[in-house]
Structure 1
Amino acid sequence: MEVLVLPTPADVARRAAEVVIDGLGAARRPEPVLGLATGSSPLGLYAELAAAVRAGRLDLTRARGFALDEYVGLPVGHPQSYREVLLREVCGPLGLAPERLHVPDGSGRDEDELVAGAAAYDRLIADAGGVDVQILGIGANGHLGFNEPGSALSSRTRVKRLSDRTRHDNARFFAGIDDVPTHCVTQGLGTVLDARRLVLVASGPGKSEAVAAALEGPLSASCPASVLQWHADATAVLDETAAARLRNRDYYDASAAGL
């Protein structure tokens, strides 16, 4: 795992974009597959990727995008559904065709439909040849996607209950906490680990505890993001405040400097 610490969130976005572009190029596939996170963490990264598209350094017209997760129970077209968020923030700016964006189905009428849809999503990723580069954020409680603490490290796409902390953290995107869904469909940690490259972005002091647990703590279901330690090609791109609790900072900086 590579840990890159940059001065500011803007620097994080620029460097993470280069890691993503490099990973897509290394895949050497005519139809690369990009794994898409939502939330505030990757917004700067998406802006940098959009700039690369405008500059002709990146072409995603033939790419396919797979979202990490989706809320259960939001009506079609709800502005805070992750499909709508990605249509606004990714498809248009990055030139990714809306019909090539795939999002877990949170519209099932009952648990059986949701479970079947989750399994179908896992198969859809496999049928696309797997994810070449998966963009990730991290929750303040260490969640990855919507894999809350206690999630099985080998889990596949499935229905999950959101923790109270996650719902309160996400309430800023809704009118209030009562409007935040209680459940989601999320790629499992095992599904995430299948991607060829993982790129985690994190900024701000509120993420420092989770980042330290994920990158330097034990591999544990108590911190789902610790599965990054198990991946052969994972890069964490952090700003100074998100990296504030890392014990091995000197080593990461020396390693990033190269030979």
Structure 2
Amino acid sequence: MRILIADDYADLSSRAARIMAGQLYLKPNSVLGLATGSTPLQMYQELVRLHKEVGLDFSEATSFNLDEYLGLAPDDANSYHYYMHQHFFSHINLPQKNIHIPCGRPADIEKECLDYDRLIWQSGGIDIQVLGIGTNAHIGFNEPDIKFEATTHKVKLDEETIEANARFFAAIEEVPRFAISMGMKTIMHAKKVLLLASGENKADAIYNTLYGGITPEVPASILQLHQDVIVLLDAAAASKIRRCLDDNNQNLRS
């Protein structure tokens, strides 16, 4: 696991975009696992800039998004379909047929989940998975629980998640109570993981993820078992782990 600390959110976003661009340069037909929310937003803006200014090419790539709210249509301004097309897909040359986001209004949710995982495996698996992290350490919409959910599944959102996401809606009552999300097995099968965190409100979640026990009560802690993780933090999100990093460096010098 590599832990990188950026100066601020802008620096974090620029570094994240360079990592994603490097993946595409090395493997133009990469399968990209993508996240939504406020943290990766500027990364997408930077990738759009690289596409327009230096020709970063997405034409051979495939994408799979982590999650979607249940009950929202793709054209709903609060859906993740809308977010991704508004902020990213409509500005780059990723073919529409290669874009995959869980359906928020599936006729059969169990079939939707099975089909989504099957599509990922048929595409060769995810080459690099971008993750944000919730204040309760959820990744995707995998909330704290007594067990890890393996594959794509229906999720009941925690009140903490609902309250955190209410800022994107007109009222907290409008926030969906359920979502569809990749599970931990799906995420952990990605060849590389890029975990992004920004802001002091994520500092406890990052500390517990990196230095606590591996437990479904801290969903992101399972990433300690992944063979190739980059944790990219701004200074505020890293505030609780700096002493641990300094101690590790001191031990290495001793």
Tell me the TM-score range normalised by the shorter chain. over 0.9
* One-letter identity of the residue aligned with 1:15: R
- More moved, 79-88 vs 51-60: 51-60
CA displacement, residues 122-164 of structure 1 (integer Å, 9 cap, x when unaligned): 0010111111111110001100000000164361100010001
CA 1:253–1:50: 2 relative to 1, 3 Å: farther
In the alignment, which residue of structure 2 is the partner of 1:125? Answer: 120
In the alignment, which residue of structure 1 is the partner of 2:11? Answer: 11
CA drift at 1:252: 7.4
Gaps of 5+ in 1: 255-259
Gaps of 5+ in 2: none
CA displacement, residues 206-226 of structure 1 (integer Å, 9 cap, x when unaligned): 110101111111111111111
* One-letter identity of the residue aligned with 1:34: L
Q: What is the alpha-carbon distance in structure 2 between the residues aligned to residue 165 and residue 105 of structure 1?
A: 24
CA drift at 1:47: 1.4
CA 1:123–1:140: 2 relative to 1, 3 Å: same
Q: What is the alpha-carbon distance in structure 1 between the residues aligned to residue 46 and residue 207 of structure 2?
A: 26
CA displacement, residues 54-74 of structure 1 (integer Å, 9 cap, x when unaligned): 233521022111010011111
- More moved, 217-226 vs 141-150: 217-226
CA 1:230–1:180: 2 relative to 1, 3 Å: same
In the alignment, which residue of structure 1 is the partner of 2:204? Answer: 209
The answer to whether the aligner puts 1:23 opposite 2:23 as a matched pair is: yes
CA 1:95–1:80: 2 relative to 1, 3 Å: same
Q: What is the alpha-carbon distance in structure 1 between the residues aligned to residue 94 and residue 37 of structure 2?
A: 19
Q: What is the alpha-carbon distance in structure 1 between the residues aligned to residue 131 and residue 19 of structure 2?
A: 13
CA drift at 1:75: 2.8
The answer to whether the aligner puts 1:250 opposite 2:246 as a matched pair is: yes
CA drift at 1:249: 2.4
- Tell me if structure 2 keeps the 8 A contact 1:4–1:253: no
**Paired residues for 1:25-174 under 5 Å:** 25-26=25-26, 28=27, 30-56=28-54, 58-109=56-107, 113-150=108-145, 152-153=147-148, 155-174=150-169
- Tell me if structure 1 keeps the 8 A contact 2:24–2:57: no
Q: What is the alpha-carbon distance in structure 1 between the residues aligned to residue 220 and residue 102 of structure 2?
A: 20
CA drift at 1:253: 7.5
Query: What secondary structure sits across from 2:78 in the alignment?
Result: coil
Match of 1:221 among 216, 222, 229: 216
Q: What is the alpha-carbon distance in structure 1 between the residues aligned to residue 248 and residue 25 of structure 2?
A: 25
With the length of structure 2 as denominator, give the TM-score of the two structures: 0.92
Percent identity over the alignment is 38
RMSD of Structure 2 on Structure 1 (CA): 1.8
Aligned length: 249
